[in-house]
A and B are shown apart, each in its own frame.
Chain A
């Protein structure tokens, strides 16, 4: 990879932004460009999620970006997050564009909420094997995996709860986090109500309004910009055998995330590092059980061993693998994984509020249970 992340920008994270999704997107992109020291006229590429309601051309109009030579969208909800950066990096590497901005902005709490049952989603034939049967929320879809994972490996609700406790602990000291100064205990988790057994309320990430944008350009150009460049060491997408969106229930084993395994192999191969070289892990945490499975797929521990790994304290800021120092989506905000990439950039720059010492490599993952993506970011 010869591309780098040179700017990050975001709106505030709230439950009711009070403005349109396009305005959120435009504000985030403008903030990211300002962070990079670039002008809208420098931008010639835009990438987002297919789920984003803001067209590239609409964002370009608001920003006054004159011409675009590259625009692209990535599918599968939160699985798109790191892949937007991969798209940008490939565009820069091939010369399709020179400065590409990745963005995601929505009123996910005050507007269309993903956590509700969407009758519209069932117009998709794939979803017709789950929604009409009563399985119609992301939480319930993940719970089906979690139940089997508990059965096979003896994991408990408390093992899932420890992820929520860590995220909320980190968010408590992050002024940008929705749950700033509001940590929880394992007892809080255990006494929170059922959403879809075996998942409790505190296993499920919050819903947020907000926007995040990331600026990508060539490493060569990055060296002359305002910020110290954050190099994209690896960027990978992954989809597994017999893949469905959230309901890959027809594979032999329900305790794995093979699509994340595909991403992991790509990341380790491209970056040349191994799991032990990772200084900070920003793992997608819309639901706690999949954080455990990711630790196994990425090779930080063996199959079924994540609960021991988590209980050992490894994920604390001073542990062997600090997890989501910004508080993750459970603690900071749910911006479909994009706020995690911004945090990874800050950790490499050394400017995070919960800064981990001597960061060389940060791993970021995108949505779980769906075709997904990942990044390894590093210092130049």
Chain B
């Protein structure tokens, strides 16, 4: 099955028909929700009560015995990927926008369309496709809320090759702490992440918890394009390094974004050589950034 072709077909179909919530917005369900979540915000109770905005999706859930509508794009795309062997699912993003709070008695309806399908991508969980849908909630003809929702449909990595236990090769493993885990996590997801100060935007590698420029302790990151040039390099001959055949090349790469990073280089090294990143999966727990000469140069 051609996943992309099917995705295009489903996207082409556009917006699904409006589907109404089982019940109008109502206080008993609001109270069930606030009780379970433990939310004591007084706005959600009393005569002028409004519904918690995060409940918007709750109103239009299919419920215990619900069946997805035939034109539901997420259901259709999931079937396509199931058939293609990407049988497992995990939700990755939910971006909800609330245009206003809902009041008891209002009866919401929802429509959905397929926004994007990208893949196949190698992820920590296995090879898979990211499926993004957009839902819109209405009260009559007024748009009251919207959501971009993304799932990963994947083929579990372990299913590829039966293994007795997770392979953990004899390489030197990084020490990872809360300041650095985003970097290693990114590698598993095929992203080369560069720390970016959430306040002043300083790019920094290796990362740290406090921005040396502005003092903010809100580090974020951006995902590098993965291109750079060799700033310096070493050809390692001796002594033996666990998990590697000697000789091998380690390059100090200056990324286009301006930071430098070390990694093994496959190819003949020279200072100034344009390179691109390769995500090299070492084992189930570790993916390393490595470099190869840039193909388009």
Contact = CB atoms under 8 A, between A and B. Distances in A.
Interface of A: 115-117, 119, 122-137, 140, 143-145, 147-148, 151, 193-197, 201, 247, 249-250, 254
Nearest to A113: B239
Nearest to B244: A134
Given A117-B240, A129-B262, A133-B262, A122 B235 contact: no
A272 to B, nearest CB: 34
Contacts of B286: 132
A128 B205 CA distance: 12
Contacts of A145: 232
B1 interface: no
B180 A133 contact: no
Given A134-B250, A254-B232, 4 more contacts: A134-B241, A140-B234, A194-B237, A250-B206
A144 B237 contact: no
B214 interface: no
Contacts of A132: 171-174, 286, 288
A129 B177 CA distance: 13
Contacts of A194: 235, 237-238, 247
Interface residues of B, number: 38
A195 B252 CA distance: 18
B13 interface: no
B182 interface: no
B205 A250 contact: yes
B231 A136 contact: no
A117 B248 contact: no
A128 B206 CA distance: 9
Contacts of B260: 249-250
Given A133-B288, A135-B262, A122 B238 contact: no
B115 interface: no
A145 B262 CA distance: 13
B47 interface: no
- Candidate in B234, B244, B247 with the most chain A CB atoms within 10 angstroms: B234
Describe B's contact surface by its main secondary structure. loop
Nearest to B290: A133
Contact of B252 (A131, A201, A249): A249
A195 B288 contact: no
Contacts of A124: 175
A323 to B, nearest CB: 26
B53 interface: no
Contact of A148 (B176, B232, B236, B289): B232
B271 interface: yes
Interface in B270-295: 271, 286, 288-289
Contact of A122 (B174, B206, B236, B271): B174
A143 B172 contact: no
Contacts of B138: none
B236 A196 contact: yes
Nearest to B171: A132
B263 interface: yes
B239 A116 contact: yes
B233 interface: yes
Contacts of B191: none
Residue among A116, A147, A194, A201 having the largest count of chain B Cβ atoms under 10 Å: A147
14 contacts: A117-B240, A125-B180, A133-B264, A137-B236, A137-B241, A145-B232, A195-B237, A196-B234, A196-B236, A197-B234, A197-B235, A247-B262, A254-B232, A254-B252
Contacts of A195: 237-238
A128 B234 contact: no
A134 B174 CA distance: 11
A121 to B, nearest CB: 8
Contacts of B176: 125, 128
Contact of A254 (B172, B206, B231): B231
A284 B67 CA distance: 76
B17 interface: no
A206 to B, nearest CB: 15
Contacts of B262: 129-130, 133, 135, 247, 249
B179 interface: yes
B158 interface: no
Interface string B132-159: 0000000000000000000000000000
Question: Which 3 A-B residue pairs are closest in the complex by CB-CB distance?
Answer: A128-B174, A197-B235, A148-B232
Contacts of A126: 206
Contact of B271 (A130, A134, A135, A148): A148
Interface string B246-265: 01101010000001111110
Given A117-B242, A135-B250, A151 B232 contact: yes
A145 B232 CA distance: 7
Contact of A117 (B175, B205, B239, B259): B239
A129 B250 contact: no
A122 B231 contact: no
B175 A125 contact: yes
B175 A133 contact: no
Contacts of B241: 117, 134, 136-137
A147 B263 CA distance: 16
Contacts of B250: 133-135, 140, 144
Of listed A127, A128, A148, residue having the most chain B CB within 10 A: A128
B206 A137 contact: no
Contacts of B288: 132-133
A137 B239 contact: yes
A117 B177 CA distance: 22
Contacts of A115: 239
Contact of A193 (B179, B238, B242): B238
Contact of B234 (A117, A129, A144, A201): A144
B259 A250 contact: yes
Contacts of B206: 126, 129, 250
Contacts of B231: 148, 254
B141 to A, nearest CB: 56
A132 B234 CA distance: 15
